[in-house]
Amino acid sequence: ILNVEQSPQSLHVQEGDSTNFTCSFPSSNFYALHWYRWETAKSPEALFVMTLNGDEKKKGRISATLNTKEGYSYLYIKGSQPEDSATYLCAPGGYSTLTFGKGTMLLVSP
């Protein structure tokens, strides 16, 4: 089982603030890294899947980067909105299975 660390555990920001989270993982046997957003009472929803060192992905105000050599990924949210409030999960993995971190819970106040 991979040791996946996500930080911070939780975050409370004001609307309009930009924020970022970190996902750390062992760099050996790496195949892919996933980011999911999980809103309360809904199913986790995929944000990004990255496989290559140096990968950068963007979806609207949300972007992510990947460093497979040092074993970390950053998720950035620019100009947070209340609808961004959710738990953000990262999941690195080998070819067949993923290991999920505990998540970062984001609350954006109006």
Partner 1 sequence: DGGITQSPKYLFRKEGQNVTLSCEQNLNHDAMYWYRQDPGQGLRLIYYSQIVNDFQKGDIAEGYSVSREKKESFPLTVTSAQKNPTAFYLCASSITGSGANVLTFGAGSRLTVL
Residues in contact with partner 1 by CB under 8 A are 1, 4, 31-32, 34, 36, 42-46, 49, 51, 89, 91, 93-103
Give 13 or 49: the residue with its C-beta nearer to partner 1: 49
Q: Are 98 and 34 in contact (CB under 8 A)?
A: yes
Q: Which helix (H) or strand (E) holds 57?
A: strand 56-59
Q: Which helix (H) or strand (E) holds 4?
A: none
Give 25 or 84: the residue with its C-beta nearer to partner 1: 25
Instruction: Please state the closest distance from residue 93 (CB atom) to partner 1, in A.
Output: 4
3-state class (DSSP) for residue 30: coil
